[in-house]
Amino acid sequence: MYEQIAPQAIMSKSLAIIDAGVDLSGFGDGEKEIVCRCVHASGDFGIAGSIRFSPGAVETGVRLIKERVPIFADVSMVAAGISPSLQKELSLEVHTRIHCPEVLKLSGQKGWTRAEAAVWLAREIINGGLAVIGNAPTALWKILELAEKGITRPGLVIGIPVGFVGAAESKEALAASGLPYISCAGTRGGSPLAAAALNALMKLALRG
């Protein structure tokens, strides 16, 4: 039978369950916050062992948020999962390009996926900003390509695309790219995880 729980107690209880069920000893304090939020978003204790951070990624992300850099989301699902109240409190802007008419035109001309075209059209936003990739491995590949060519270099990549074609490989390439990143090894990932990681960073920024 359903046990009525006060709304404000639900998250606290969830995080207590996660803290008891996941070994977080290998993570720094800020990293623990992000891992817990990703576990909560996925409902999967096992995801904790797949979350990866470049050295100083959390501190970099918090700094960028405090500097109010633009945020690029690869798809609308990622943007929808980013807390609007935190965005407002921190005066942050989230940009997506996936549904712009120019994306469809450019993808047809270049033979790119729409996600690749969206990254290209947002390259000035991505440069120095926060790139949050939760759906399309091709978006992450395009960011890595543009960074390698010196066209755009994000301040931090939350690279958590999901899938069986190119997702794991794109995240391995991200880890080897030299870009600051938060990621999730293997085929698992998705928009809820990517948004949860950013939401956790925003909470950390508000605290400090």
Three-class SS state of 73: strand
CA 64, 31, 183, 100: dihedral to nearest 10 degrees? Answer: -40
DSSP 159-193: E---SSSSHHHHHHHHHTS-S-EEEE-SS---HHH
Out of 37, 40, 171, 203, the active site residue is 40
Q: Is residue 95 among the annotated active site residues?
A: no
Place of tokens 């870009």: 179
Please give the Cα distance from 100 to 123 (Å, whole number).
14
Please give the Cα distance from 141 to 176 (Å, whole number).
12
Query: Which active-site residues does the annotation give?
Result: 40
